[in-house]
């Protein structure tokens, strides 16, 4: 997996992306009470393999290349697993915001 390129998904990737979304969100549906809003997800079989770390590094590098001062992301307040990961990679909690049925924790990482 470490040698695989990070690239935008194309039409041919739709079935694989749908599988990842289904597998990644399935455990959260009961906890949250609904399907989570779309966000970057990693298939559960890839957890612990460094894929998330690579994605976060990719995002940081891309944002720096664009000259952006920070990266922002959010996760559902009931996805506490994510809330443990982001601070390890330099993200700080900015605010908790409820929008309709979604309760989100918003994070940022300053790049400059």
Are the C-beta atoms of 70 and 54 separated by less than 8 Å?
no
Per-residue pLDDT of the chain (112 residues; tens, 9 = 90+): 555 788 899 999 999 999 998 898 888 888 888 888 877 778 888 888 888 899 999 999 999 999 999 999 999 999 998 899 999 999 999 999 999 888 999 999 999 8
Q: What is the pLDDT of residue 69?
A: 98
Token reading at 109: 């990482």
Domain chopping of the chain, boundaries: 11-110
Q: 11-110 falls under which CATH superfamily?
A: Gcn5-related N-acetyltransferase (GNAT) (3.40.630.30)
Q: What is the pTM of this model?
A: 0.82
Give the whole-angstrom CA distance, residue 87 versus residue 45: 23
Token pair 């330099």 is at which residue? 90
């Amino acid at each position: 997996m470490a040698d695989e390129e990070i690239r935008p998904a194309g039409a041919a990737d739709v079935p694989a992306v749908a599988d990842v979304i289904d597998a990644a969100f399935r455990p959260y549906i009961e906890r949250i009470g609904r399907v989570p809003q779309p966000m970057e997800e990693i298939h559960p079989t890839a957890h612990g393999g460094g894929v998330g770390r690579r994605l976060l590094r990719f995002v940081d590098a891309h944002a720096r290349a664009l000259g952006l001062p920070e990266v922002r992301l959010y996760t559902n307040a009931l996805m506490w697993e994510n809330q443990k990961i982001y601070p390890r990679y330099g993200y700080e909690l900015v605010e908790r915001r409820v929008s309709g049925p979604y309760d989100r924790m918003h994070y940022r990482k300053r790049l400059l």
